[in-house]
Structure 1
Amino acid sequence: MPQLSVVVPVFNERDNVLPLIGEIAAALRGAADFEIVYVDDASKDDTLAVLTAAKADYPELRVIRHLSQSGQSTAVRTGVRAARGEWIATLDGDGQNDPADIPRLIAMRDESPDTIKLFAGWRVNRKDTGSKRFASKFANGLRSRLLRDETPDTGCGIKLFERAAFLDLPYFDHMHRYLPALMQRAGWQVKSVPVNHRARGSGVSKYNNLNRALVGIADLRGVAWLIRRSKRTATEEI
């Protein structure tokens, strides 16, 4: 069984698939027992065909297909549920996250207490447009004030977390943007780790600032409610 499962959700990313798989394999072969779980969210291009062909060159690769488009959070959860590793690393499928950061996250996990179940990437030098950087800074500031999750960048796609802890969290669409707050709600600690960030090499972003903002307002209210209504009780076995 692999020690680590790398989960990558994709939608219409056919030109980014092979370069990213090659980088994941180069970063982890010889460093960890791993598998790569790609979840194709019902792409309309030939992303699925590229992934299927890539299995011949990458025995670590597994491919799961959504029969209908369901969004990034659902794709991540599909991949985590199918994963066989005890720990999960996630990457965005657009190639902006650097797989070379995964061994660094693993090394940090190995020297950290067991109470830390999420190591969240922090894009300190973002390679996005000015409008995206401004929108992200505003959203992160608002979320941090409301949820008090003490996490500077929840939108970064590269994360390392324990599979069991993730599957114990409440599931809802867009939950991937609130993992630090949800992990803390469950009683676990979170550590933010500076990571590399790259410009998109091919394709187009699947989000814009407006739709992120409209969805984010409702999500913030919902997560804040979950935190207010949570209750943890210490137990002992007699």
Structure 2
Amino acid sequence: MNYEFTIIVPVYNEQECLPELFQKLKDYLQSSSKKSKVLLVDDGSTDGSPAMIKEFCDANEDFHYLLFERNFGKGAALKAAFDHIDTPWLGYLDADLQTYPEDFEILFSLSSKNDLVTGWRKQRKDTLIKRISSKIGNGVRIMFTRDHMHDTGCPLKIIKTSYAKKIPMFKGLQRFLPAMVLLQNGRIAEIEIPHYPRLAGKSKYNFKNRFMGPLIDCFAYVWMRKSYINYNVKEKNE
């Protein structure tokens, strides 16, 4: 099939969320403005998630999976997905359903003039601690990256695959996707989207990995920005 869009869903111990996630994704594929498929990446889950993913994907042709041998982290899950995608556009969605797949359509409203569009969870449905730590983390990141995004950690994004495949691998990758597209002289935009409470399962984030981890990753980004190689071939012979 001539798919135009692949939705990446990293999964780590989310068996309680998966039945509703599967249904939400199936419903969206029926109404999506682009012919779409789904790539679920299990990041070494120790619950029933891998078995549920395999069973569902084997029964639904628009769904595919990658299963990691152990937990490598969300950045690795996204990079592995980027390496396996063959559609012009890709998107990213968390398995906890605090953002919904149908809201990709909001992002696509800005896709004609941009290479990456990210959501902005302006009205967040999280705990006070999570909101405060994320706000501080975003402020620190903006100082380093100058991407001027309010909510780069929003787990709802669309990216042109040609840009995604040029993003180098490092831990915390998901926090720097807009900045990495800017390094390629790409165009980025942000648009407000709805945010929903987590209905099941447990958050994998705390103050350490919401603030201290991103702070350390910022220094890695600064080094990468100075060393990043970006080029475009003008002409070649076959």
Give TM-score scaled by structure 2 length. Answer: 0.91
Contact 1:41/1:68 (8 A) holds in 2: yes
CA distance in 2: counterparts of 1:162 and 1:234, whole angstroms: 16
CA deviation map 1:157-184 (0-9, x unaligned):
1100011211111211111111111111
Contact 1:123/1:195 (8 A) holds in 2: yes
Determine which of 38, 51, 54 is the counterpart of 2:56: 54
Contact 1:18/1:54 (8 A) holds in 2: no
How do 1:97-112 residues align onto structure 2 when only pairs under 5 Å count? 97-109=99-111, 112=112
Matched length: 234
**More divergent stretch after superposition (151-160 vs 141-150):** 141-150
CA distance in 2: counterparts of 1:229 and 1:40, whole angstroms: 32
How do 1:165-176 residues align onto structure 2 when only pairs under 5 Å count? 165-176=163-174
Does 2:4 correspond to 1:6?
Answer: no
**What's the secondary structure of 1:126's corresponding residue?**
coil
Unpaired segments ≥5 residues, structure 1: none
**What's the secondary structure of 1:119's corresponding residue?**
strand
What displacement does 1:218 show? 1.6
Does 2:215 correspond to 1:217?
Answer: yes
Give the share of equivalent positions with the same residue, in percent.
Answer: 27
CA distance in 2: counterparts of 1:72 and 1:231, whole angstroms: 24
Matched to 1:170, the amino acid is P
The residue that corresponds to 2:44 in the other structure is 42
What displacement does 1:129 show? 0.3
How do 1:55-204 residues align onto structure 2 when only pairs under 5 Å count? 55=57, 57-109=59-111, 112-113=112-113, 116-204=114-202
Unpaired segments ≥5 residues, structure 2: none
CA distance in 2: counterparts of 1:106 and 1:58, whole angstroms: 25
What displacement does 1:103 show? 1.8
CA distance in 2: counterparts of 1:162 and 1:74, whole angstroms: 19
Does 2:20 correspond to 1:27?
Answer: no
What displacement does 1:232 show? 5.6
**What's the secondary structure of 1:191's corresponding residue?**
strand
What displacement does 1:234 show? 8.1
For the structure 1 residues 210 and 107, does the alpha-carbon distance in structure 2 shift closer, same or farther, using more than 3 Å as the test?
same
Moved over 3 A (4+): 228-238
CA distance in 1: counterparts of 2:208 and 2:70, whole angstroms: 24
For the structure 1 residues 197 and 229, does the alpha-carbon distance in structure 2 shift closer, same or farther, using more than 3 Å as the test?
same
CA distance in 2: counterparts of 1:50 and 1:122, whole angstroms: 31
For the structure 1 residues 45 and 145, does the alpha-carbon distance in structure 2 shift closer, same or farther, using more than 3 Å as the test?
same
CA distance in 2: counterparts of 1:86 and 1:11, whole angstroms: 26
For the structure 1 residues 64 and 237, does the alpha-carbon distance in structure 2 shift closer, same or farther, using more than 3 Å as the test?
closer
**What's the secondary structure of 2:17's corresponding residue?**
helix
CA distance in 2: counterparts of 1:137 and 1:98, whole angstroms: 22
Give TM-score scaled by structure 1 length. Answer: 0.91
What displacement does 1:56 show? 5.3
Q: CA RMSD in A?
A: 1.9
Matched to 1:108, the amino acid is L
**What's the secondary structure of 1:15's corresponding residue?**
coil
**What's the secondary structure of 2:91's corresponding residue?**
strand
What displacement does 1:140 show? 0.8
**What's the secondary structure of 2:195's corresponding residue?**
coil
